[in-house]
Amino acid sequence: MSFKLFRIFTIILSFFFLTGFVPILSFVAPSVTAVTSGNIYKASAQFIINQKIEKETGKNSIMLIKETFTKDEIEEKIQINSFNEDLRHLVETRIKITREKLDNQNLQKLILKRIEITRSILNLNNTTQ
Q: 73 and 33, same structural domain?
A: no
Instruction: Report the alpha-carbon distance of residue 7 to residue 13 in Å, rounded.
Output: 10
State the first-to-last Cα distance of the chain, in angstroms, to the nearest integer. Answer: 125
Q: 116 and 64, same structural domain?
A: yes
Q: 100 and 66, same structural domain?
A: yes
Q: Which of 18, 19, 29 is nearest to 51 (CA)?
A: 29
Residue 111: predicted pLDDT: 87
Q: 126 and 73, same structural domain?
A: yes
Q: What are phi and psi of 31, to 5 degrees?
A: -70, -35
Residue 9: predicted pLDDT: 81
> Residue 84: which domain range?
59-129
Query: What total number of domains does the chain contain?
Result: 2
Q: 65 and 54, same structural domain?
A: no
Single pTM value for the model: 0.32
Q: 97 and 75, same structural domain?
A: yes
> Going residue by residue through the chain (129 aa), what tens digit of pLDDT does each one get?
778 888 888 887 777 667 665 566 666 666 666 667 667 777 777 778 888 878 888 877 777 777 777 777 777 777 777 778 888 888 899 999 988 888 888 888 888 888 888 888 877 655 555
Q: 54 and 64, same structural domain?
A: no
Residue 16: predicted pLDDT: 67
Q: 82 and 43, same structural domain?
A: no
Alpha helices, DSSP H, located in the chain: 2-19, 24-37, 40-57, 61-122
